[in-house]
Every structure is written in structure tokens, then in C-alpha cells.
Structure 1
């Protein structure tokens, strides 16, 4: 009887231990560091349109997507930014698998309408043109949409948000799913930009390059570059940008370390 009880206890312990074991980390590109007035900004590519920033003791998740393994070993978020309602930006399964209970969620209204009710108290809605100052940073909502504007476009004006973050004096632009719209081209003083390029949902590499050449960020990361026909030619993007403006630091990173 004692032997049976011991065996049962060990089996129960093994099941509990297995349930508590964190997921193995998925492969991801190495992190970069960018100096700011309040210490380094760490840029950790995750996958597709998702990136994690660590700055001034805070952790910011952008469009958390790809499952818990993609975030294994990273600090829980203090802030979560979500750009749009599509599943590669608003991913309830990934949110449910992460420790997001203490995070402020900054989202457009369309995302707030689709978030599970359990997050309602954490949500702060920003509309295009609005700004939030929180935790020593500012978050400004920027339009993101398709051209020409149409009611049946994958991304209509006003539904989603791009974002500009001010982190220790550095302005960081996250394009979200957009084309090289006038609001992008008119941006000023952008230090770091994350710019999408995937057909047919946003724009091609050349269109993205022309947009970047218009607003001239100091550093640009092409991200969100998987489309219907595979990965966009980010090498061509870099070449086009630097042939016209060698001062723009185009940083190519592997946002797809695992085939998806």
C-alpha cells in the first residue's frame, strides 16, 4: 500500500512539474541596443510584426504573436501595443499563454472591441492622432491604411494604429500594416523605424523604400515582410534606400528564424 501511494505521489509530482516547466525558447535573432538619454533601448526581434523593447526598467511587447515559446526567457510586459485586429497582431492565444496580467494594453478601438473581457481593465484606447504619456514614455497613435482608400481594403483608415514611441529622447516608429501614406512620409525626427513590406496586404520593398527616403529615419528595420508569395526582398529594400541616402542605417535581421 505504501509503495502504491509513493508511486502515485511521484506520478502526481511529475505531472505538476511538467505543467510548470516553461516552454523552450524558440530561435530568434540577436537583440540590438540603441543608446538613449535614459539608458540603452534593447530591441529584440520576435517574429513577423512582433518586437520586444526593454528600456528604463520597462518591457514593451508590440503585437505579441507566435506562441509563448517566442517570448520564453523575456521579462513580462509592462506595456503591450497592438496595432490591428488581424490574427498576426491581435493573437488571443498568445496573450493567454503569457504573463500579461499587469500590463497596460494600448490599442485602437477596433482591437478593444475584440479583446477578451478579462483584459478590459487593462486597456487604454488611442485613436489616430492621440497621445498617451505613461511610465516615463510617450505613445502617439499614427494612421496606418491601404492605398487607394477603399471600404473593402484589408486595412482601412482609422481602424488600426501605427505608433511613435518617445523613449529617453529617441523617437521609435512602428508602421503597423500600411502603405507609404502621407502621414508616414510627413514624419519628422524619427530615430528608429520598423517598416512593413508584404504583398498584397501592405506594400512592396520598393514602395517601402520610397516612404523611408521621404521621412529619413536614422535607423530602419524592415519587418513584417512575409507575404502570400514568401518573404519580400529586404536586400533590395536596403540597396534602394542606401543608393539614395547612405546615412540611413538599414538593419536586416531575421524575423523568421523558424519556418512558419
Structure 2
């Protein structure tokens, strides 16, 4: 079930949007293990596994959530099978049909309408399109789609308003924010209680490190991971971020970018 929030003058009203079928819970016995940073929750650890650029995996209990998987099946060899897949938008560094066909199995796929419309029929059958403001769940994990778009004049053509999604996932007692390709939006800046945030920062497509630092100091996630950063100089973050947030700089480009 997905619930759509209609935003009117800053107020949210909920209406039920039936999608039929819902999401099937997939509890897979997996021999492969996921390595990476661990973040404790009251119901078990979250594991953060960077893949490359904007692609990452989140492990939680028996769930392995693939986010924007691209790069072909070989990039995911030896990793646990996907139990769910989230796709933020249709650019080629976030969405690749051959990769999905190779790794998706029967995992439910959540994406935006643009990507949903581009999926081949077999994948579309296991996919759901969420719009900005929709709430739902995937395999019992609460999920919200939030706006992801440019805000600076001259960059709007890269990520127009209302097309791309960021995602909020509630894992145990922690809320994880995967921003997708975006600059700071009013919705981002108004967030509270974010345990982990993945923020992009490369020009001209997303935000600058300076914009990211200002946003971080506004919505104050407990932990922030810069990702999708290309050749951006991230050193500004080390001095610009306040004490409320732990900065975790990780190598998101293991293959050299």
C-alpha cells in the first residue's frame, strides 16, 4: 500500500492510493555476507556497503536493499541477493536495465514514474512507481519518497521538480535518507530525526560541498555520507560541519571513478 501526501501550504493530508498486490515479503537464505560500516538500531545493525558512485547496498536483518544498482552483474558478484531495489531516477548512472535484468530476481522494485515507464514488461510486473510525497512499505520496511531536484537557476534542466525521488527508510528505530540527485530542497531542510544521510555533491548536476555543509547544519543528520561526489573537494566538509553530525568519508570510487 502506498499513501500519497498532498502538500498544501506546508500542511500534509493523507489519502490512500491502492496499487493492488502490495509487496511480497522475501526472506531469503543467503550464504553471501555484506561487509561495511555498521550502524546499530534497537532491532539489529544496519550495514552500509558502498558499490560505486551512486550505487550502494543497505543490509538490515534478512534484507539487502539495492539502491540505484548499475554497472553490470559482475559488480555485484559475491554480494547477497537483492530483497528490494530502490531507483531514484532515470539517468544512466542510477538506472540500467541490463543490470536490473541480471540481478533483480523477484525482488520488488520501487522507483519513480519515469523509470517505471521505461522498464521492460517482466521487471515492470514487480515494480511500483512512487511520486514525491508517497508513503508505503517494502518487505515491511516503512518507506517514503521525497523530492529530489535542482534548485539553482541554470541547473534545473538536470533534475526538474517532481521527477526524481529521494527515499526515507525506517530501519528499526533509525531513519535513513538517500537523497538521490538533488540540491537542498525545502523538504530536505525541514527534516528532523535523520540517523543517516547519503548526500550527493558534484557540479553541475547536484550540490556543491558548501551547499551540502549548509544543509547538513540545518537538518542535522546524526551521520552523513557524501556520495555521488565525482572529483569534488570534500575537505570543506571536515571543517564546515557542526558537532551534531558525524562525517563519514568513504571511497565511493573503488574502480578509479
**Residues 112-140 of structure 1 deviation map (CA, whole Å, 9 limit, x = unaligned):** 01112220110111111111123231110
**Structure with higher strand content:** 2
SS in structure 1 at match of 2:94: coil
Indicate yes or no: 2:92 matched with 1:95. Answer: no
In the other structure, the counterpart of 1:39 is 44
Indicate yes or no: 2:106 matched with 1:117. Answer: no
Q: Considering only CA atoms, is the larger Rg found in Structure 1 or Structure 2?
A: 1
Are the aligned partners of 2:149 and 2:156 in contact in 1 as well (CA < 8 Å)? no
In the other structure, the counterpart of 1:235 is 235
1:246 to 234, 243, 247: 243
Query: TM-score, normalization: structure 2?
Result: 0.83
CA distance in 1, matches of 2:52, 2:218: 26
1:235 Cα deviation after fit: 2.1
In the other structure, the counterpart of 1:78 is 83
Structure 1 residue ranges without an equivalent (≥5):
1-28
CA distance in 2, matches of 1:108, 1:32: 28
1:153 Cα deviation after fit: 1.3
In the other structure, the counterpart of 1:219 is 223
Summarize the Cα distance change of 1:240–1:30 in structure 2 as closer, same or farther, 3 Å threshold.
farther
**Residues 86-130 of structure 1 deviation map (CA, whole Å, 9 limit, x = unaligned):** 0011111221232x1211000111110111222011011111111
1:30 Cα deviation after fit: 6.0
**Structure with higher helix content:** 1
In the other structure, the counterpart of 1:191 is 195
1:148 Cα deviation after fit: 3.5
1:55 Cα deviation after fit: 0.5
Summarize the Cα distance change of 1:30–1:239 in structure 2 as closer, same or farther, 3 Å threshold.
farther
Structure 2 residue ranges without an equivalent (≥5):
1-33
CA distance in 2, matches of 1:34, 1:145: 28
**Residues 157-185 of structure 1 deviation map (CA, whole Å, 9 limit, x = unaligned):** 11010000000110000110000111110
CA distance in 2, matches of 1:112, 1:163: 16
Are the aligned partners of 2:35 and 2:47 in contact in 1 as well (CA < 8 Å)? no
Query: TM-score, normalization: structure 1?
Result: 0.82
Are the aligned partners of 1:51 and 1:62 in contact in 2 as well (CA < 8 Å)? yes
CA RMSD of aligned residues (A): 1.7
Indicate yes or no: 2:171 matched with 1:171. Answer: no
